[in-house]
Amino acid sequence: MDELTAWLADPDPVTFPYAQVLAGFHRTGKHFVADRTLQWLAMARDAVPGTSTAADRLVRWLDVLLDKWDGRYDYRSYLALRLLAIPTAGSTTPYLEQRDRLVAGLLGDVLGFEHDAADGRTEFLPQMRPGADIVAKRHRLGLKVAVPALARLGGGPVTTGLELRATMRRLLTDDEIQSIALSILPVYVSHDEYLFIRVLQIFETTFAMLVLELRAGVAALDAGAWTAAADRVTVAAQVLTESAPTFSLLATMQVESFRTFRRFTEGASAIQSRNYRLLESLCRLPDDERLSSAAFDNTPEVRDEVLAGLRTLEQAYTEAVGRNPPPDAEPAVAAFRTFAAAVRRWRQTHYRLAVRMIGDRTGTGYTEGTPYLSEVRKIPVFLRPDLDVPPVS
């Protein structure tokens, strides 16, 4: 860690040896980084001067590197979510465009990695490289998710993962490219963990965008803007449906590989996803049993928001119909039902994938595992039968 000691002598956030530190983490995986290195990094974090953008980014990154050391390791830090340009209401860029930029960027990155590894051009994550047939399947499925996003971004047609990576490197800012590069911090050295992290980040990005659309849908209903409300929920349904092949992409993960690196991800589970929990809670209020279950124990901020009176689509719809019935509520109802169907399909696919990957093992979020998922997939998306659809079998 010579670079780190040299940097500590003159700690300027702009000159931090990002590449060298990242390479060190990649050599062993985050779980196996030497205590001595972590001590140096903790000292570096204390030494970061000022409150500039560069200082802020460096501290956020060091927090991610030091999550296990600090005893704060969880799903959000595993995925380095605070480094990524996750869709936010505070940006002037439309929600869908924010999502598309990051999703296509992440896909270009992971397909680029698959390509480099298959060609022997990287030694990163050398264990359990997949065969050529699996790599080809990953490219096909990854492109299937990326192409509609890229088309909306005006990125032109791409037919290979390498073209996608090159196109995204042109479309994204240096800042966005750097954030994506810094956000891949596997716990071990299995090839497939790269794919696992990127797929989780892609879904997390999508959930964040869906939450923004659903909130906007609630506001539109409250304003009596029926067409706008239907449009918001329709976009949410479309994007969730379009994201479905991301699960097929993850299903190419080699089970043995997953079970190997999963031993070191204990404590990080998507049950801690705030955006997924918000998505669920924005449709309709969770009942008391759900609100006091592991789901909300793992997302206490969302429980607080629900208890503070989070307004749901179902409430807004019911009140809007009662107050000011539109000449035709059918487009809104159809949008709700399409969204409910997409959520139910998402849960079913997730459940089936989990059965295949972990069988009867417990979850890294400390639930009993697939029995938990089997139960929660049946939770109604909406309580009103006219808005919901039957469970997927």
CA torsion angle for 307, 313, 316, 318 (degrees, to 10)? -110
Check residue 13 and report its DSSP letter: G
Tokens 């060298």 found at:
20
Q: Which two tokens stand for residue 327?
A: 């000449």
158 vs 357, beta carbon nearer ligand HEM: 357
- Member of 216, 357, 387, 389 binding ligand HEM (CB under 6 A): 357
Residue 333's CB: how many other CB atoms inside 10 A?
Answer: 17
4 vs 353, beta carbon nearer ligand HEM: 353
Show the site string, 215-254: x = touches ligand HEM by CB under 6 A, - = not: -----------------------------------x----
Residue 190 main-chain phi, psi, to 5 deg: -85, 130
Does the protein bind ligand HEM through residue 392 (CB under 6 A)?
A: no
By 3-state DSSP, what share of the chain in percent is helix, strand and coil, each rounded to 5? 70, 0, 30
Show the site string, 284-303: x = touches ligand HEM by CB under 6 A, - = not: -----------x--------
Show the site string, 74-103: x = touches ligand HEM by CB under 6 A, - = not: ------------------------------
283 vs 320, beta carbon nearer ligand HEM: 283
354 vs 392, beta carbon nearer ligand HEM: 354
Does the protein bind ligand HEM through residue 200 (CB under 6 A)?
A: yes
Give the shortest CB-140-to-ligand HEM separation in angstroms: 18
**Which residue, 44, 89, 47, is CA-closest to 275?**
89
Give the shortest CB-74-to-ligand HEM separation in angstroms: 11
Does the protein bind ligand HEM through residue 276 (CB under 6 A)?
A: yes
Residue 330's CB: how many other CB atoms inside 10 A?
Answer: 10
206 vs 234, beta carbon nearer ligand HEM: 206
Does the protein bind ligand HEM through residue 275 (CB under 6 A)?
A: no
Give the shortest CB-64-to-ligand HEM separation in angstroms: 18
**d(Cα 320, Cα 359) in Å, to the nearest integer?**
45
Does the protein bind ligand HEM through residue 366 (CB under 6 A)?
A: yes
**d(Cα 57, Cα 62) in Å, to the nearest integer?**
9
Question: Which whole-number Å values give the CA distances from 207 to 100, 213, 237, 251, in the listed order?
Answer: 12, 10, 11, 20
Q: Which two tokens stand for residue 225?
A: 């803007």
Question: Which amino acid makes up residue 193?
Answer: E
Does the protein bind ligand HEM through residue 373 (CB under 6 A)?
A: yes
Residue 121's CB: how many other CB atoms inside 10 A?
Answer: 10
Give, to the nearest 10 degrees, the angle between helix 313-323 and helix 192-222: 20
Give the shortest CB-47-to-ligand HEM separation in angstroms: 35
Does the protein bind ligand HEM through residue 367 (CB under 6 A)?
A: yes
Q: Return the half-sphere exposure (C-beta side, CA atoms, 13 A cut-off) of residue 375.
A: 10
72 vs 361, beta carbon nearer ligand HEM: 361
* Binding-residue total with ligand HEM (CB under 6 A): 26
273 vs 338, beta carbon nearer ligand HEM: 273
Helices and strands (H and E) in the chain: how many: 21, 0
Does the protein bind ligand HEM through residue 203 (CB under 6 A)?
A: yes
Does the protein bind ligand HEM through residue 273 (CB under 6 A)?
A: yes
Contacts with ligand HEM by CB under 6 A lie at 199-200, 203-204, 250, 258, 269-271, 273, 276, 295, 350, 353-354, 357-358, 363-367, 369, 372-373, 376
